[in-house]
Amino acid sequence: MEQAGCVAAGFALSSQPALARPGDDRPLYGISLAQWSLNTMFKAKGGDLDHLDFARTSREEFDIDHIEYSSQMFQDKAGDKKYLGEMLKRQQSEGVTALLIMVDAEGDLGDPDRAAREKAVENHYKWAEAAKLLGCHSLRVNAASKGSWDEQLELAADGLRQLTEFGAELGINTIVENHGGLSSNGKWLAAVIKKVDHPRSGTLPDFGNFVINHETGEEYDRYQGVMELMPYAKAVSAKSMEFDESGNEIHTDFRKMMRLVVVDGRYRDYVGIEFERDKHPKFEGVRLTKTLLERIRDELS
């Protein structure tokens, strides 16, 4: 798929990218920055950083030229063409490419009520159009639903299929992150994507979002989950929270995870830094994650 900015950078956006050829001097995978890594620093979350300065911040502070937006940082601007145009202008002036928009708070795509489900689908249309304008390849959404395993599978697949077909007309992928409830069960989410059965549908495996029930503490095995979601991955989130003195993430074995992504999953696209928690200052957390991903990339190469 030839989305803006990525072919020139040497990364083919597909669910199962080809292995690098011997002698190929391109990086094994690219490193991007998810805006959520700095979420509390933005004005939308009570901070001082202007959303329009995200591209510049990514470039100047971290030397990262591929970014992933969060809808929560410009929730009321999705349909504002002037504002989106200014975002694009800022990206281009910094030499930065937007890969995707992570969309939240627009309704459940697997809502049991048909009218509510269709409204949720329609609520995402403006974000797909915004993603197109900003040069993104994907819209990251959630697969929230209610009911039994099978009921939720059918409902989520129905909503996702509708949205995927809309996005496909724009050249935009609709990809689902493991993000709580049954979507944090790798087997279930993989079954949903199979049910949607569309080349523009896929997953965004997140290293850390495998808590199925926060009240009971039920958690899916993160390594098994990523393994199950990688065949459909069009993006990956390297969730990080805390690092030891050697620069290793203490909650996730990044080396094991990146082998699942790159070696077993044959993935060659961008891996997004998504730093969470306050164990380290935000900028430090992003830098620690980037350094770890670069070190592992060198080891795997």
194 CB-near residues (< 8 Å, 6+ apart): none
Quick one: which H or E segment has residue 160? Answer: helix 149-170
- How far apart are the C-alpha atoms of 193 and 144, rounded to whole Å? 14
Which domains, ranges and CATH numbers included, belong to the chain? Answer: 6-300 (3.20.20.150)
The pLDDT assigned to 8 comes to 31
Per residue in 245-283, pLDDT (tens digit) is 999 999 999 999 999 999 999 999 999 999 998 889 999
Residues 127 and 9: their CA atoms lie apart, in Å, by 25
**Residue 111 half-sphere exposure toward CB, CA atoms < 13 A:** 14
Of 21, 70, 23, 27, residue with least CA distance to 49: 70
Listed in sequence order, the residues at least 6 apart from 279 whose beta carbon sits closer than 8 Å to its beta carbon are 241, 242, 243, 285
Per-residue CA distances from 184 to 176, 207, 221 (Å): 10, 11, 9
Q: How many CA atoms lie within 13 A of 215 on its CB side?
A: 1
Helix axes 186-196, 222-229, angle to 10 degrees: 10
In tens digits, the chain (301 residues) has pLDDT values of: 333 333 333 333 333 334 343 445 789 999 999 999 999 999 999 999 999 999 999 999 999 999 999 999 999 999 999 999 999 999 999 999 999 999 999 999 999 999 999 999 999 999 999 999 999 999 999 999 999 999 999 999 999 999 999 999 999 999 999 998 999 999 999 999 999 999 999 999 999 999 998 889 899 999 999 999 999 999 999 999 999 999 999 999 999 999 999 999 999 999 999 999 888 999 999 999 999 999 999 999 8
Query: CA 52: distance to chain centroid?
Result: 20
CB under 8 A, 24+ apart: contacts of 162-165: 162/118, 162/121, 163/109, 163/121, 163/124, 163/125, 163/128, 163/139, 164/196, 164/198, 164/200, 164/201, 165/198
- Contact between residue 183 and residue 148 where contact means Cβ atoms under 8 Å apart: no
pLDDT in tens, 209-249: 999 988 898 999 999 999 999 999 999 999 999 999 999 99
